[in-house]
Amino acid sequence: MIKVLIGFVVGVAVIALSIWQMAPSLMFTERVSPFGMDETVARIQHNIQNTGNGWALSGLRNPAKAVQTDGGNVLPVMMIEACSTKYSKPILKDDTLRFLSILMPCKISIYKKNDGKVYIGTMNAGLIGKMFGPMVGETMGHVAEDQKKFLQFDPNTPAPKMILPAAPAAAGASGGSGGGC
Amino acid sequence: MSLGNILRTLALMALALAPCAGRATPAPAPAAATAAPAMAPVQSAPVLATKAGTNSTADHSKFEALKKSFASGPEVTKACLTCHTEAAKQVQKTKHWTWEFMNPDTKQRLGKKHVINNFCTAVPSNYEFCTACHVGYGWKDEKFDFAAQENVDCLVCHDTTGTYRKLPGLAGHPPYKDTEFPPHSGKIVKAPDLGEVARNIGKSSRATCGACHFFGGGGDAVKHGDIDSSLKNPGKYLDVHMAKEGLNFTCGTCHATSGHDVPGSRYAPTATDEKAGAHMRGKKDVNAATCQACHGTRPHPAAMTKLNDHTDKLACQTCHIPEFARGGIATKMSWDWSTAGKLGPDGKPIKIKDSAGRDAYDSKKGDFKYEANVIPEYIWFNGKVNYTLRETKLDPSKIIRINSFEGSANDGKSKVWPIKIFRGKQPFDKVSNTLLIPHTFGNDDSSYWSNFDWNKALEAGQKAAGGEFSGQYGFVSTEMSWPITHMVAPKGDALTCQQCHGVNGRLDKVPGLYMPGRDANPWLDKIGWGIALLTLLGVLGHGSVRILMARKRG
């Protein structure tokens, strides 16, 4: 009996450790972009605008700029913010779920690493949504589907122009265009 | 108070407010559109903005020779020479004037007058355009009088008003009347008041040097990658030496001149500074513009011995310039002349912009690519540079190196250097297998930018350079290397150990390096582990024997 109990505890511990190890890669995804920083940002922005379902750009942040202002250097990072009222509205209407506004707006991060390549980082909206009940799970599932469309690139189309925020704010902040949420 | 003084006071006030304004700048900072085919207007560095801010013993506004209006640049120079009798003769001995350099090692005749690059390619046949950045007046063809002292342009280096500007197409002269530039753009470049500029001259500044060097290759940040207009008033993050809120170095602080001769050379760079240490300004046997000239060969604190041990194989720049083009302006990374000449439906030249609004295609020049925050490539470099010259035979099936940096891990003279490699495609003669010079600028029928006819342009370009053209041309892939040595980051932003010593580190492509942490010798590893195991066994054995003996004794 003791052997079974020890085996069970060890099994639980191994699974917990595995989840601990795998969780970051499950909750967030990273892929290499075939384009440079500016073009990657521009293509994703235009994909977001063309996806429909109420999606609109709500900001473009440059956290590296704030570091520069303080006298330091980091490799470029640009964060595209987008939101869809179609998906945000039901969550924001429910008092028990309003805390999930912390996940809004949806962010896609484009950054360069020391290998010189440009990467795209996204949150796994589908998986995270499932943790908060069926309604959020279903909504975030739709978000995840749309996210895939944001990252579909057609290299045969010419590079579009980057969309800069209409009303810039302080360094490192968004110039929120008022779109989305 | 004169209008000039009022303007300078306003400029100072604007500079004083700049830090506050900087905090409120927009967040996104895409690499800006940088097309600037003209020499930029010179703006005075803060330290030189007023006479009160200088240590000069002369107020040029009080000089009788300058108390008049001037109709041309040479007239101003004649006035300067009434006091500075030797200045023009000194300038005329320098590369800034001759655009010539004889490399004593390779015996190659270099300098802008002779080399061919993979940007705008070459000066011959395009003099009036290129010589906007010559420190002289009137170099419009091969007949230019290099001995005439009044042809030396004093103002381009010594202006402090920020109003003096030379435009391509005027053979090194500033515009003497208000001029629309670029042509048909609707933008008017004001003619400078030469008298006002002359009466307010001062030491060279980041702005005066940058007026040409920031814009090398035809636009802001195009050529070097580590020199662009962001260095005019840089923040500390961009360059610890030049930071306007910090040391506030001008270019001349390191490139300290002696008799108008500026140390530092792209044709014969100092890769390893053996004579490092306190540098005596004016001594010609050493380059005053190296890191070691001030910092010595063991620049880190004594407690950081291991870092100091790196200095025999690594250039300072390798660790301390982690990326170039960090000032928010993307540098040009490639130029493909082979695609030039596509015209719009109306038969007129076209431009296509990239995502950040820069020219990605120009009918006159072809395709471009840009990048900001570029991670350098790294090579062994011993200071020797070999050029592919106009007469050099090439193999068009291979990538042609416009300049080859020599060096190896074993020659005892090389260090690992960061470089920018500029890649391109440019015309060559299919029969003679040599690079060709196109005649690009001019209103004549043979210039490429007028008629988009490569045959005519190449024939005219070669003729002007004294070369031949078979009539058969193609495009060959080329590479040109540029050592990275400016945009020195704060010490906290130098490369970390892991960035080189880790897997996929920065120096992975540098041959001949044994990198602890990355590389392993299997036999050495086995011996090491064996010794560790034997040590462990020895300790365990010894301990066991001691325990057994203790028990035996009771």
Q: Give B45-66 pLDDT, tens digit per residue.
A: 444 444 556 678 899 999 999 9
- What are the backbone angles phi and psi of residue A61, rounded to the nearest 5°? -105, 150
How far CA B75 is from CA of B80, B85, B92, B153, B443, in Å, comes to 9, 15, 18, 10, 28
Is the confidence at residue B519, as pLDDT, over 90? Answer: no
Average pLDDT over residues B60-79: 96
Nearest residue on chain B to A75, judged by CA atoms? B373
Nearest chain A residue to B28 by CA distance is: A62
Residue B423 has pLDDT above 70, yes or no: yes
**Residue B219 phi, psi (nearest 5):** 175, 170
Average pLDDT over residues B488-495: 95
Flag if B22 and A171 touch (Cβ within 8 Å).
yes
CB nearest A161 (choices: B27, B31, B355):
B355
Instruction: Write out chain B residues lying below 8 Å of A165, CB-based.
Output: 26-28
Give the 3-state secondary structure of residue A6: helix
CA distance B315 to chain A (A): 19
**pLDDT mean over B223-243:** 96
How far apart (Å, rounded) are the C-alpha atoms in residues B251 and B305?
A: 31
Residue carrying the six token digits 């690009």: B440
Q: Which residues contact B204 (CB under 8 A, 6 or more apart)?
A: B157, B158, B250, B251, B252
Chain B: give the shortest CA distance to residue A128, in Å: 29
Predicted confidence (pLDDT) at residue A179 exceeds the cutoff of 60:
no
Residue B25 has its nearest CB partner, among A70, A116, A171, at A171
Of the candidates A38, A60, A165, the beta carbon closest to that of B31 is on A38
Q: Is A173 on the interface with B (CB under 8 A)?
A: yes
Residue among B28, B356, B506 minimizing CB distance to A114: B506
Q: Hey, are the CB atoms on B237 and A71 less than 8 Å from each other?
A: yes
pLDDT in tens, B524-549: 889 999 999 999 999 999 999 999 99
Task: Let me know: does B73 contact B153? Beta carbons within 8 Å.
Answer: yes
Between CA B456 and CA B152 the distance in angstroms is 33
Q: How many CB pairs lie under 8 A apart between chains A and B?
A: 107
- A61–B28 CB contact, under 8 Å: yes
Its sign, for the CA torsion B145, B147, B150, B155, is positive
Q: For chain B, what is the mean pLDDT?
A: 88
Computed from CA positions of residues B281, B282, B286, B289, in that sequence, does the dihedral angle turn out positive or negative? positive
A34 interface with B at CB cutoff 8 Å:
no
* Unique residue bearing structure tokens 């007239």: B75
Task: Report chain B residues whose CB lies below 8 A from the CB of A71.
Answer: 235-237, 490
Taking residues B78-88, report their average pLDDT. Answer: 97
The C-alpha atoms of residue B464 and residue B256 are separated, in whole angstroms, by 36
pLDDT at B283 over 80: no
CB contact under 8 A, A159 and B25: no
Residue B279 pLDDT > 90, yes or no?
A: no
Residues of A in contact with B29 (CB under 8 A): 62, 64-65
Q: Which helix (H) or strand (E) holds B73?
A: helix B73-81
Sheet with A106-112, side-by-side order of all strands = A28-32, A118-123, A106-112, A77-84, A55-61
How far apart, in Å, are the Cα atoms of B210 and each of B29, B44, B456?
Answer: 22, 11, 34
With cut-offs at 50, 70 and 90, classify the pLDDT of residue B518. confident
Tokens of B86: 């030797």
| Secondary structure class of B124 (helix, strand, coil) | coil
Whole-number Å distance between alpha carbons of B380 and A10: 54
Please tell me which of the candidates A43, A78, A159 has its beta carbon nearest to residue B28.
A78
More confident of the two residues B53 and B129? B129
pLDDT band (50, 70, 90) for residue B447: very high
d(CA A40, CA B363): 25
Taking 50 as the threshold, does the pLDDT of residue B148 lie above it?
yes
Q: By mean pLDDT, which of A88-97, A163-172, B30-39, B200-209 is the weakest?
A: B30-39
Assess A76–B contact: CB distance below 8 Å, yes or no: yes
- Spatial neighbors of B363 by CB under 8 A, at least 6 apart, are B340, B341, B342, B343, B344, B349, B350, B351, B452
Reported as a pLDDT band with limits 50, 70 and 90, residue B38 is low
DSSP-H helix ranges across B109-154: 127-130
Q: What is the DSSP string of B146-215?
A: TT-GGGB-SHHHH--SS-----TTSTTPPPSS-EESSTTS--EEPPP-HHHHHHT--S--HHHHHHHHTT
Yes or no, beta carbons of A160 and B357 under 8 Å apart: no
Out of B25, B353, B504, name the one closest to residue A115 (CB): B504
Task: Specify the 3-state DSSP secondary structure of B529.
Answer: helix
Amino acid identity at B107: K
Euclidean distance between CA atoms A110 and A118, whole angstroms = 7
- The rounded distance, in Å, linking the Cα atoms of B240 and B320 is 10
Beta bridge partners of B374: B324
> Average pLDDT, stretch A24-29?
84
CB contact under 8 A, A73 and B354: no
Task: Determine the residue among B355, B374, B491 to mutate to test chain A binding: the one whose Cβ has the most chain A Cβ atoms within 10 Å.
Answer: B355
A72, A75, A78 member nearest B492 (Cβ) = A72
Reported as a single tens digit per residue, the pLDDT across B300-344 is 999 989 999 999 899 999 999 999 999 999 999 999 999 999 999
Instruction: Supply the pLDDT for residue B201.
Output: 95
Sign, CA torsion B426/B422/B254/B37: positive
Instruction: Count CB-CB contacts under 10 A for residue B102.
Output: 13
Through-space distance between the first and last CA atoms of chain B, rounded to whole angstroms: 106
Q: Min CA distance, A11 vs chain B (Å)?
A: 33
User: pLDDT digit string (tens) for A101-147?
Assistant: 998 999 999 999 999 999 999 999 888 888 888 999 999 999 999 99
Specify the long-range contacts of residues B544-552, CB closer than 8 Å, at least 24 apart: none
Q: CB-based contacts of B200: which residues, under 8 Å, 6+ apart?
A: B4, B60, B61, B159, B160, B161
Compute the nearest-CA separation of B419 from chain A (Å). 14
Q: Tell me which residues of chain B have a C-beta less than 8 Å from any C-beta of chain A.
A: 22-31, 235-238, 322-323, 326, 330, 352-357, 360, 369-375, 489-490, 492-493, 499, 504, 506
